[in-house]
Amino acid sequence: EDKVVQSPLSLVVHEGDTVTLNCSYEVTNFRSLLWYKQEKKAPTFLFMLTSSGIEKKSGRLSSILDKKELFSILNITATQTGDSAVYLCAVGKSNTGKLIFGQGTTLQVKP
Amino acid sequence: DVKVTQSSRYLVKRTGEKVFLECVQDMDHENMFWYRQDPGLGLRLIYFSYDVKMKEKGDIPEGYSVSREKKERFSLILESASTNQTSMYLCASSPTVSEQYFGPGTRLTVT
């Protein structure tokens, strides 16, 4: 059975800290891994990763995929209170538009 | 910008009522999806559609049906609402095997 597991499930840090969120997967016919950020509304797209070892970066956020070890990490440096959200990891399978989601990591950044 | 809208942000229904949740996207996307989101369980796929009048079951289709008469509109139907269907319902669309764009969600409470 296809599975996506995120850790930790929740995290509390202070502004300025660096955090690393983890996503491991066991999915047949892997196509891509996606990260979303969800505040109190619709999830918004952050990154899509298809190749191992190539870092994707957007401001203070970066992500990398390891297809051999079947995991991805999302790093956030110099965290701000606006980074407080649920971060969702999802895996897409080949030849289908379906995504398989992990449980999400709830990040709280305190001032 | 892609826009996905959902008919209601909050909805309260009684057990046994028939419930319609509407989703409209304005980007001519082929694929549309309905998820429910519950604490600790992440997003779970209910139904999806790759084309007009086409539908496929997701992971938890029991108790739900869908309708896609026009490309831009995908409806989720709860034939006889039950309390265990109290949840956040998210609609998404995508152009191909790509990232999905989400609507704001409908928080449904069944009493």
Domains assigned to chain B: 4-77+84-101 (2.60.40.10)
The tens digit of pLDDT for each residue in B24-45 reads 999 899 999 999 999 888 899 9
A29 to chain B, any CB pair closer than 8 A? The answer is no
B60 to chain A, any CB pair closer than 8 A? The answer is no
B60 burial type by CB count under 10 A (0-12 exposed, 13-18 middle, 19+ buried) = middle
* Residue B23 Cα, gap to closest chain A Cα (Å): 13
pLDDT of residue A16: 97
The tens digit of pLDDT for each residue in B41-64 reads 889 999 999 989 889 999 999 999
**Which band of pLDDT confidence, cut at 50, 70 and 90, is reported for residue B97?**
low
Of B74, B59, B58, B77, the closest CA to residue B20 belongs to B77
Question: What CA–CA distance (Å, rounded) separates B111 from A24?
Answer: 37
**Which band of pLDDT confidence, cut at 50, 70 and 90, is reported for residue B17?**
very high
Note down the domain range covering A42: 3-110
Q: How many CB atoms lie within 10 A of CB A38?
A: 19
Amino acid found at B27 = M
A105 to chain B, any CB pair closer than 8 A? The answer is no
Number of structural domains chain A divides into: 1
Interface of B with A in 6-35 (CB under 8 A): 30-31, 33, 35
